Amino acid sequence: TNLHEVLLEQNLLTILDASTFKGLSRLRTIDLSYNTIGSVTYDAFQGLVNLKYLYLDHNVIRELPPGIFEDLVSLHRVDLNNNKIQSLPDNLFQKTNIITDIRLNNNEIRIISSTAFSHNLTYLQRLNLSSNVFSQWTIPEGGFPSLLILSMVNVEQMYQAPDPIQCGCPGVQQLEFTY
């Protein structure tokens, strides 16, 4: 099919699995914001190699399974803000090499795996982790060489906070970092 956009915001969707987008490999935009999605399986986005924009903000997602973004090699932006995500697994963004914008603010993230943000994120310009409850996070080896904006405002319990000045972000233009 030639479908390029799925815009189903403000519905009562609750689950995403392998059958949700099956056969829709030409999709470029998925907007499922403002739903009640609580469960997303690791294969929910399988085969969506052309997807550029993924909006899952304002749902109740608690977990992102390993491999969930593996096929999203064209992804530019993912918006997962205002969910209930508690941790980010290993290699979460490993295959999303050209992603420029990751928004994970207003979640319940406590732990970010040291490999969640792969060293391959050379195009990442905006990373928003504000309003979370971190207890552990280590900035990946190599940092974020193209990052322009790092937001970590209203972060609670930063016992092992990364030093924002040592983030490996030589071009950062805007740094928002408060406890």
Reduced 3-state DSSP string for the chain? CCCCEEECCCCCCCEECCCCCCCCCCCCEEECCCCCCCEECCCCCCCCCCCCEEECCCCCCCCCCCCCCCCCCCCCEEECCCCCCCEECCCCCCCCCCCCEEECCCCCCCEECCCCCCCCCCCCCEEECCCCCCCECCCCCCCCCCCCEEEECCCCCCCCCCCHHHCCCCCCCEEEECC
Distance, CA of 20 to CA of 70 (rounded, Å): 16
Q: Which residues pair with 40 in a beta bridge?
A: 16
Structure tokens at 33: 């914001």
Please state which of the ranges 7-16, 94-103, 106-115, 141-150 shows the lowest mean pLDDT. Answer: 141-150
Cα–Cα distance for residue pair 161/53, rounded to 1 Å: 29
Query: What is the structure's pLDDT at 8?
Result: 97
pLDDT band at 159 (very low <50, low <70, confident <90, very high): very low
Read off the tokens for 130.
């504000």
Cβ atoms of 146 and 171 within 8 Å: the answer is yes
CA dist list (Å): 164 to 83, 90, 109, 135, 177: 24, 21, 18, 16, 7
* pLDDT band at residue 115 using 50, 70 and 90 as cut-offs: confident
Strand partners, 7: 31
Return d(Cα 152, Cα 132) in angstroms, integer.
Answer: 8
Instruction: For residue 132, name the pLDDT band (cuts at 50, 70, 90).
Output: confident
Which is more confident, 168 or 4?
4
Percentage of the chain modeled with pLDDT above 90: 54
Q: Is residue 98 scored above 60 in pLDDT? A: yes
